[in-house]
């Protein structure tokens, strides 16, 4: 940022995330620097600023907001409320009671599966997919595949923070990805 200019909205939200996010060294194991966003969720003004920034980037481009379990639920609910649209929960396997679409993906130590209900959102709806952090892109990639399998259109993907060194965007090729803060 140039010191002689007023910070942009993007610069202001990145500064807020940087200030509010807790940094925990050596968690969950030595050598890892964990960035905890729960203080951001607990700060009403910061949460509003982040949700507004996520929505601003995709204004008028979506009909529903999908939130990836679990912290993505917080963002998606707030964003959907602010935008006056519904929420599509992207859940871990076995948590939804009706017929679902399922998508498995690779983890460092095995596989995991995400699911969405087959009949909650009408085909063709435009979906904004939100989550807290983009790391390797496995979870968000699975969420995107689920949305597309359901006959829905991915309007974009928004995250609060992107861990740049993990190249998560490679799992989201062909989709607009917006990260408010990159480390």
User: Measured between alpha carbons, how far is 145 from 163 in angstroms, rounded to an integer?
Assistant: 21
How far is Cα 112 from Cα 183, in angstroms, rounded to an integer? 25
Catalytic residue among 71, 91, 103, 126: 71
108 included as an active-site residue: yes
What contacts 13, CB < 8 A, 6 or more positions away? 49, 50, 53, 180, 181
Contacts of 1 (CB under 8 A, 6+ apart): 7, 8, 11
The whole-angstrom separation of Cα 118 and Cα 13 is: 35
> Does residue 71 have an active-site annotation?
yes
Q: Which residues are catalytic?
A: 71, 108
């Amino acid at each position: 940022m140039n010191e002689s200019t007023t910070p942009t909205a993007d610069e202001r939200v990145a500064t807020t995330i940087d200030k509010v996010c807790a940094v925990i060294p050596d968690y969950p194991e030595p050598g890892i620097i964990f960035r905890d966003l729960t203080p951001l969720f607990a700060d009403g003004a910061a949460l509003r600023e982040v949700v507004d920034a996520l929505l601003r980037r995709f204004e008028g481009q979506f009909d529903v907001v999908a939130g990836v379990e679990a912290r993505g639920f917080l963002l998606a609910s707030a964003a959907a409320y602010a935008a006056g649209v519904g929420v599509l929960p992207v859940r871990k396997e076995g948590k939804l009671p009706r017929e679902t679409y399922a998508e498995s993906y690779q983890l460092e130590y095995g596989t995991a599966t995400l699911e969405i209900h087959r009949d909650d959102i009408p085909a063709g709806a435009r979906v904004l997919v939100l989550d807290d952090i983009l790391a390797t892109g496995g979870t968000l990639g699975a969420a995107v595949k689920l949305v597309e399998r359901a006959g829905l259109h991915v309007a974009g993907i928004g995250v609060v923070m992107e861990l740049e060194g993990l190249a998560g965007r490679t799992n989201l090729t062909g989709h607009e990805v917006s990260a408010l803060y990159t480390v």
